[in-house]
Structure 1
């Protein structure tokens, strides 16, 4: 009974690590984020993103939703321009499990070994990276960049949209930088 609970916990951790998104941010420490209360999308930058037009719409809707939820306003005359681009690459995981075959016995006896096992598990997945850039429109300078990296799940449209929303939410939650918050 005790081991079955442990197995369930370990399995849950493994599944949650597959959904993990690693987020990093960088920003201009001299930028005044308190003035960046309005936004619009920077179309020339977004057009360069190497994803389908439908996925671009999904990303744009997710970014807009998250920024509006944080109190920003979409505007025709914005203080901040928002752009994004993407990268993807195929990754291979190789897990090698070596078992000398000693079993769960007390003591050691060279004649009682269970044999040697060498299990190799190979898995392949697509790792995607979403870059979200915030540009000070007046200065025409990049002031903040959020980067989210994680496994992509493209089984169906709903899962794809769910994954895009999660990427965007995790990235946008780090804006503005805490040391330079809006007033």
Structure 2
């Protein structure tokens, strides 16, 4: 009976883990991040990103929101330049269910049920990179990356982008 009660919790955990964003960051350990108070977007780098302009705007708005929460302000003479780039990978899952009965390992042969059902599903895993570049030295000082499954639903897309950006920038500034 306990296993029946445990099953919904396990299913919820599995579904929840599928929607999570995995994040990593790397940074220059010799940089004092407390010196950075202002930022601007690196337009030439962002223009090269091969995603829709609407998604770029969503990402940039999410970055603005998160950096503002950290006390940073947007400036014409910034301390940091913010650049982004993306990668995506299509994943195809094929599941086959065989029907039958018989002896031996697994399922046997059944003359009334030929084969089984094959299900094919696809999903897109995306990776968002956020680079923070020292504006004076023109050197990369921090890079964060978040990977997870993307959605095509417009209503959920902005929510998903906000989640990606928030989790990535949660690691900025780094704690040494």
For the superposition of Structure 1 and Structure 2, which TM-score range results when normalised by the shorter chain?
0.7 to 0.9
The residue aligned with 2:22 is 22
Unaligned stretches of 5+ in structure 1? 102-110
Aligned residues: 166
Please report how far the alpha carbon of residue 91 of structure 1 lies from its aligned counterpart in structure 2 after TM superposition.
Answer: 1.2
**Normalised TM-score (structure 2):** 0.85
Question: Which deviates further from its counterpart, 115-124 or 41-50?
Answer: 115-124
| CA gap 1:176/1:119 in 2 versus in 1, 3 angstroms | farther
SS in 1 for 2:51: coil
Two-structure CA RMSD over aligned residues (Å): 2.4
Runs of 4+ residues deviating >4 angstroms:
94-98, 117-122
Distance in 2, Cα, partners of 1:62 & 1:19: 19
Give the alignment partner of residue 166 of structure 1, picking from 159, 163, 166: 163
TM-score normalized by the length of structure 1: 0.82
Structure 2: 5+ residue stretches without partners: 109-115
SS at match of 1:126: strand
Q: Deviations over 1:98-123 (max 9, x none)?
A: 9xx9xxxxxxxxx9x89638997653
2:151 pairs, out of 153, 164, 167, with: 153
Partner of 1:141 in structure 2?
139
Alignment of 1:38 onto 2:38: yes
Partner SS, residue 45 of structure 1: helix
1:126 aligned partner: 124
